[in-house]
Amino acid sequence: MSTKRIANLHPIGAEGHRYYEVPGSIIGNGFSSEVVAPLVPTVFLTETDRRLMDLAYLEAGMRAQEAGFDAMFVNSVADYGLHLLRESAEIPVIGAGQAAMQLAAGLGARFAILTVWPPATRSLYERLLSDYGLRDRCMAVRHVTEDAELSGVISEDGLVARMHAGREEVTERIALEGARLVSQGAEAIVLGCGCMSPIHRDLADRLPVPVVDSITAGHKLAESLVSLDLRPARPWVPPVGLDYLRHMIRETAHLAAELKLTADSCGDSCSIVSATETLGTRHRGGL
C-alpha cells in the first residue's frame, strides 16, 4: 500500500519553524508528513496580518493538492485560511486550532486555552472560539507572557527557545498557570501554540486534567479522515485558480511586515482586504 501524504502547512522561513514539525512518534504507519510552506510568514496582530495569511495558506494548500497530497493540515492554532481551503479543496483539510478545541470540548464541560503568546494576540483565540461555537465552553484564555515580551517570545534566547532547551523555570512557569486554570474549573487545557508541543507530555504529567496538543490533535485527525476515505463535499462554486493566487501572493508578500490599516491612509492594504473579503463571501454559513 502506498504511503499517504499529509501536507504540513507552515512557513519554513518563520522564526522557530522547527518547533512546528510533526514528531515522527505520532505519524502513523503508512503516513508521512511533509512541509508545504506558505509564502507570507508573519505573526497575527492585526486583521491585515490575518487576511494576508489566509491568502498565503490558501495558495499553499492548493499547491499541496496539485502535488498529490492526500490531506492537508493547517499547522497553526490560528487556522489561517481554513474556511477558504475547505471551500476550494477536494481533499480533507484540518486546522490545528479547531481540532484541539473541539477535542478539548469532548473531554470536559469547560476547557481553557494556555498560550505562550501575550494578550496582544487575544482576538485570535476569541475569533476562533466564536467561529466554532465554543465561546461558552472555554472558561479562560491564559497568556503566559506580557505584551512587552512579544518580540522576544521566539527570539534566539526567548521563552520558546528556553522552553525547548529544557529550562525548568520556563516549563514550571507554564505549568503553574495551567494549575491555576484547573483550580478555577478547567477540565481540559488546550496548548495555544504549536511551539508548545515538545513540552506537551511534561505538562500532561504535571496537571490532573487532559492537556491537548494542537499538532498531535490536528495531524491525527487528518490521518483518520484519510483512513476512513472521507472527503469534503465538492465545492459549490468554482475553486480559486492557483495561478491567480500565486500572482496575488507575489504582489503582497513584501507588504507583510509593513501594512497598517488606518482610517486616513489605506493604500495597497485596501485591495488586499477587499480581495480576501471577496473570497470570504463564498464560505459564509459555517464549516
CATH of 4-96+219-283, picked from 3.40.50.1860, 2.60.260.20, 3.30.565.10, 3.20.20.410, is: 3.40.50.1860
Q: Grid cell 483512513 — which residue?
A: 227
Per-residue pLDDT of the chain (287 residues; tens, 9 = 90+): 799 999 999 987 544 456 678 999 999 999 999 999 998 765 666 778 888 889 999 999 999 999 999 999 999 999 999 999 998 899 999 999 999 999 999 999 999 999 999 998 899 999 999 999 999 999 999 999 888 877 767 677 778 888 888 888 989 999 999 999 999 999 999 999 999 998 999 999 999 999 999 999 999 999 999 999 998 876 566 666 667 676 666 666 555 445 444 433 444 434 444 444 444 443 333 22
- Is the CATH number of domain 98-213 3.40.50.10540? no
Within this chain, domains 4-96+219-283 and 98-213 share the same CATH topology: yes
Provide CB contacts within 8 A for 90, sequence distance 6+. 65, 231, 232, 234, 235
pTM score, two decimals?
0.82
Query: Domain ranges in the chain?
Result: 4-96+219-283, 98-213
| CB burial of residue 9 (10 Å; 0-12, 13-18, 19+) | buried
**111-128 per-residue burial string, b: 16 or more CB within 10 A, e: under 16:** bbbbbbbbebbeebbebb
